[in-house]
Amino acid sequence: TYLVKTQCAKDLYNPNDLSLIPTYALNLDEPPEKRWSHIVINYKDQLENLFDYFRQNQNQYKIFLDNNNQNLDKLAESFPEPYRQEILGMSNATGIGVEDFMLLNVFYELSSSCSSIVAQDFQGEIFLARNLDFGLLLGWDTRNDTWMTTQLLRKLTINLFFYRENQLLFKSTTLVGFVGLLTGLKPNKYSLSINQRKDNVPGIAGIFSWVAGNSMNASWVTLLGREVFEQDLNYLEVVDRLSQTVLLAPVYYIIAGTNEFQGAVVTRNQTDLLDLWILGSNNSWFLGQTNYDRWKAPLAIDDRRTPIYVCMNDYGRENLSFDSLFNVLSTQPVLNKLTIHTTLIKVRTGQYESYFQECKTPCPLF
């Protein structure tokens, strides 16, 4: 039963008119503390604006900013390597405190809403597309009619291409200073997007368990995403790794491969695989995942799932392309005031496009 009336967006995909996200290279052969320096120095003002906003609105972030940053300091001391060294290097390059970068790197667990689609055309070509939404209830900007944190994060959004031994290892779209992976492509191998999942045991509980020294054998959901891209794995190995690894937070991993029906949504809590949803099951040619378990109805005030299904079927499998996927992800409320960017991926060819998105008023708040 559809919860909302959907009017699918049309004719919005025109790369020449869209705002392309800037691209930087990160060399994994460099020492971790040096890898980000050439990037963060260009974004020092934007980072300071974000962190100043955090500090000025401590009531929204008090769970971490209380006690003189004690929780963030403990987290920085125990954060996994080499990511800890990368964060220390960014702090040294900009003169910005380590605790600020740490808050950015746990931000995914605090406020994120995303929409992802994995789909296959009649030729067996696999696509992955996603909207990244960030900043729910974290300060309304009355002048610009949007979420303040979303605006600040949009100015920190980049494409980051990872290299090793002068060879492209993988592509991603991320935030300056964020060392995990939210969206990634290993050309001609696999692609991944990560959506936050709400559960009875929230991600924030896993972070505090880590700080207390009780969950040191668990993996951070976005760091695990980056780890699988730095290793030489195939699609099935990636699905298995993301399905079985003990995690700090519940999550949806949306994975696309290169062969027919190599698409999956892995639904996880901290310890268990709850559901493995496979492309092609029940004759499906696409899977659409937001932030709700597929066997449960989404909240009526946050039903992005229905527009995805209505518009994907409206365009049809015969018209599956970057054009149709961009329009689906530009349909309100899939596109909303929290949306920062849209990424479009064709796994086999390595085609990767990422564009800033901003939903003009009138537009759903989330």
pLDDT in tens, 281-316: 999 999 999 999 999 999 989 999 999 999 999 999
Residue with tokens 């849209």: 342
296's tokens: 């449960």
The pLDDT score that the predictor gives to residue 64 is 54
Q: Domains in the chain, start-ordered, CATH in brackets?
A: 1-365 (3.60.60.10)
Residue 211 C-alpha from the chain's centroid: 23
Tell me the average pLDDT across 39-54.
95
CB atoms within 10 A of CB 242: 25
Q: Which amino acid is at 282?
A: N
Average pLDDT over residues 321-333: 98
Encoded amino acid at 24, one letter: Y
Instruction: Determine the Cα–Cα distance for residues 158 and 355; give it in Å rounded to an integer.
Output: 10
Residue 27 has pLDDT above 60, yes or no: yes
**Is residue 210 within 8 Å of residue 248, measured between CB atoms?**
yes
- Within 33-96, residue ranges assigned H as helices are 37-40, 44-56, 58-78, 83-94
| Mean pLDDT value of segment 188-198 | 95
Neighbours of 138 (CB within 10 A): 21
- Give the lowest-confidence range in 76-80, 178-182, 346-350: 76-80
**What phi and psi values does residue 151 have, to the nearest 5 degrees?**
-60, -45
Sorting pLDDT into bands at 50, 70 and 90, what band is 1? very low
Question: What is residue 285's predicted lDDT score, i.e. its pLDDT?
Answer: 98
pLDDT for the residue 115: 97
Q: Is the peptide bond before 82 cis (omega within 30 degrees of 0)?
A: yes
Q: How far apart are the first and last CA of the chain?
A: 21
What are 311-316's contacts with CB under 8 Å, separation 24+? 311/6, 311/8, 311/9, 312/117, 312/119, 312/286, 312/288, 314/8, 315/8
Average the pLDDT over 228-256 and give the result: 97
Residues annotated as catalytic (active site), given as ranges: 114
Average pLDDT over residues 14-29: 95
Half-sphere exposure of 89 (CA within 13 A, CB side): 21
What is the per-residue pLDDT for 66? 55
Separation of alpha carbons 116 and 305, rounded Å:
10
Buried b (16+ CB within 10 A) or exposed e, 27-46: eeeeebbebbeebbeebeeb
pLDDT for position 71: 74
Q: What is the per-residue pLDDT for 63?
A: 55
CA-closest candidate to residue 131, choices 80, 205, 193:
193
- Asked whether the beta carbons of 35 and 86 are under 8 A apart, the reply is yes
Q: What is the mean pLDDT of residues 256-276?
A: 97
Nearest to 173 by CA among 189, 157, 151, 190: 157
Rounded to the nearest 10 degrees, how much is the dihedral formed by the CA atoms of 183, 185, 186, 187?
180
pLDDT of residue 67: 53
Res 199: pLDDT: 84
* Contacts of residue 313, Cβ cutoff 8 Å, sequence gap at least 6: none
Tell me the CA distances in angstroms from 171 to 48, 63, 113, 226, one per residue in order.
26, 33, 22, 11
Q: Token match 């993988």: residue?
A: 170
**Spatial distance between the Cα atoms of 11 and 324, rounded to a whole number of angstroms:** 9
* Spatial separation of the C-alpha atoms in residues 329 and 334, rounded to whole Å: 6
The string of pLDDT tens digits covering residues 59-107 is: 655 555 555 567 788 888 999 999 999 999 999 999 999 999 998 998 7
